[in-house]
Amino acid sequence: MGRKVGAEYINEDTCKFTVWAPLAEKVEVVWKEKKDAEPLEKDESGYWIKNISGVTPGTLYKFRLDGEKEYPDPASRSQPEGVHSWSRTVDQHAHRWKDESWKGLSTSQMIIYELHVGTFTPEGTFEAVIGKLDHLKELGVNTLEIMPISQFPGNRNWGYDGVYPYAAQASYGGAEGLKKMIDACHQQGFAVLLDAVYNHMGPEGNYLSEFGPYFTSKYETPWGKAINFDDQHADEVRNFFIQNAIMWMEDYHFDGLRLDAIHEIIDLGARHFLKELSQKTDELEDKSGRKYTLIAESDLNDTKIINPYQKGGFGLEAQWVDDFHHSVHTLITGENEGYYSDYGSLDKLAKSFKQAFVYDGAYSNFRKRSVGNSPKGLAPSKFVVCIQNHDQVGNRPLGDRLSQLISFEQQKLVSGIFLMAPFVPMLFMGEEFAEDNPFQYFVSHGDSDLVKAVQEGRKREFQYFFDKTGEFPDPQSEDTFNHSKLNWNFREDETKSVIFEYYKELLQLRKNGAFNVLRKEDISIETDEERQMMLVSGDRIYAVFNFNSEEQEVILPKKKGSWKVVLASAAKKWQGSQEFQEKYRSGDTVNLPASSLIICES
């Protein structure tokens, strides 16, 4: 492992300062409260280092380069006054952890709940999340996935504009609030994953290039120059981000990371950055005795990411699967523009339900090329699926959720397909009670030119839509942020309460093993495009999904014994229109209402 960077306490009043600035001739620590600067000493790799005594936790400092410009620490653990101001030392040993018995969860055990700290609760803080753990426990999830929390400009942001990857966002409660939240989660049986961004840095407050060649012009990403993972001086850039990942897991006790858009982490070296990160995480597992999980977001459908090292893979535990979301979304909403044009049939949904990837080397009309490779032989726990997430909701023009696009009966239908599927499920906050409030794109930049660029960029992106509606949620407006907060009074609405109880029932069935058989490769899936029905069967289980807008007849398969109804979404128990029998005989005909499902076991 390379050098640790930033300000690290050696004991109560001695802090070790380390910063990588290979091209600088002189680097000093300067203080907000003291006039005398402290010169650092350079090593052969371009790190400037010194143990400095008399530095109490909470001391504000910057680095001065070559006697001139002063900048915050690139590896700052705290930026209480914002991205342009002083860094603050944090005693990484101050929190007294109470999660000694926690060993983590394997990916196959996880039921993930994605949340944005700022909009999940009225307070929008780490500690406020603790107050909602009882709700999440009742729901039946066991893993929280936190959208990015690295310090970003202002107080409102999705988190993907972070510029201090080592600093927990001050407006959320900073380092101490974060540790309290994770400690409480572990004590109540929740794993916690962090959405980490290693493919770009935000534009405002990004001073990395002042310190060294953190970026390379060899490659271009949607955000500009790529982070330098394989060009000159790449070793120390890689170390900066690997140390960051290890810090979140070791110092903050995160159970793993969701790695944002890894297809934009460009590395043509012999050992890809992600493989090195995976191997370093394995070493941490051996050291700590805890389980850690790395999950990739990727649109490549490339199994190399999740294949083991001995098969030439990167060894990550799992990856997101867009194909599943797109297959469900296009069928239930009828939307077919852009990348959705590659989906929209029951056959595509059936293929994704069985093997995760629709595009497994198949030709994509939207991309005009073949995409992906075969996932055959990989465990379902290697794939994370959803029917909503921050991207698929928040990058809609108005940030409207699925509950605003489809009917009550359709919501029950698609959530049943989702939670019955054999993969690792991920819910998006509020989905479990059909939240009406949108989740929109919001920022709070301090640079007026950048604000204008963001506003105009969003208008251009959705120009056709806004020309028709005249609506535009201004990303910079605090109202846009506030409108995106969850409404926790959902129990006052009978329909929302039913959805919540329905999700609880599905998750309980899942945890009790009712759908385990569907994890086998030999399950049977039949589709009937004309009747808009999909039938899934395995050993002792039979499920029918009716996407039709009209009632359809279902003939239960003939076999010994009777069929017990495990769940029927159109039952009166779930505010549906029909009374179902508790049991049916082999070969019986069941009338399945429009936009509903039935799950039976023998």
- Contact (CB, 8 A) for 441 and 451: no
CB 39 within 8 A of CB 28: yes
Query: How far apart are alpha carbons 245 and 156 in whole angstroms?
Result: 23
Among 73, 91, 183, 260, which one carries the catalytic annotation? 260
Q: What is the pLDDT of residues 329-366, one digit of tens each?
A: 999 999 999 999 999 999 999 999 999 999 999 999 99
Domain check: are 332 and 418 in the same one? yes
The proportion of the chain whose per-residue pLDDT surpasses 70, expressed as a percent, equals 98
Cβ–Cβ under 8 Å, residues 262 and 297: yes
Q: What is the mean pLDDT of residues 261-266?
A: 97
Is residue 463 predicted with pLDDT exceeding 70? no
CA angle centred on 432, ends 194 and 531, rounded to 5°:
115
Catalytic choice (204, 297, 431, 435): 297
- pLDDT band, very low/low/confident/very high, at 520 (cuts 50, 70, 90): confident
Q: Are residues 281 and 313 in the same domain?
A: yes
Whether 260 is catalytic is: yes
Q: Where are the beta strands (DSSP E) in 191-317?
A: 191-196, 215-221, 224-227, 256-259, 293-296
For all residues of the chain together, what is the average pLDDT?
95
pTM of the model: 0.97
Rounded (10°) CA dihedral 417, 418, 420, 421: 100
Same domain, 121 and 12: no
Overall domain count for the chain: 3
Is the predicted pLDDT of residue 581 greater than 90, yes or no?
A: yes
Burial 411-427 (b: 16+ CB within 10 A, else e): bbbbbbbbbbbbbbbbb
**Residue 65 shares a structural domain with residue 115:** no
The count of residues in the chain is 602
- Which amino acid, one-letter code, is at 589? T
Dist CA 168 CA 172 (whole Å): 8
* Whole-angstrom distance, CA of residue 21 vs CA of residue 213: 9
Residue 458 reports pLDDT greater than 90: no
Domain range for 395: 110-198+253-445+457-470+487-505
Q: What is the pLDDT of residues 270-319, one digit of tens each?
A: 999 999 999 999 999 999 999 999 999 999 999 999 999 999 999 999 99
In DSSP notation, 386-454 reads: -S--HHHHHTSTT---GGGTS-HHHHHHHHHHHHHSSSEEEEETTGGGT--S--------S-HHHHHHH
Q: Out of 282-286, 515-519, 541-545, 561-565, pick the least confident.
A: 515-519
Please name the residue that has the structure tokens 């590896």.
75
Domain CATH number, residue 27 = 2.60.40.10
Tens of pLDDT, residues 33-56: 988 999 999 999 999 999 999 999
Residues in binding site: 258-263, 322-326, 390-395
Binding-site residue numbers for substrate are 258-263, 322-326, 390-395
Q: Are residues 494 and 535 in the same domain?
A: no
11 residue type, one letter: N
| pLDDT reported for residue 470 | 62
Residue 459 pLDDT level (bands cut at 50, 70, 90): confident
Q: Are residues 496 and 529 both part of a single domain?
A: no
Q: For helices 234-250 and 273-288, what crossing angle results, to 10°?
A: 40
Predicted confidence band of residue 464 (pLDDT cuts 50, 70, 90)? low
Q: Is the dihedral of CA 155, 160, 166, 172 positive or negative?
A: positive
Whether residue 308 sits in one domain with residue 194: yes
Does residue 567 carry a pLDDT above 60? yes
User: Do 401 and 538 sit in the same domain of this protein?
Assistant: no
Same domain, 143 and 71: no
**Strand ranges inside 2-115, DSSP E:** 6-9, 14-20, 27-31, 38-39, 41-42, 47-53, 60-65, 69-71, 87-88, 112-115
Where does the pLDDT of residue 469 fall: very low under 50, low under 70, confident under 90, or very high at 90 and above?
A: low
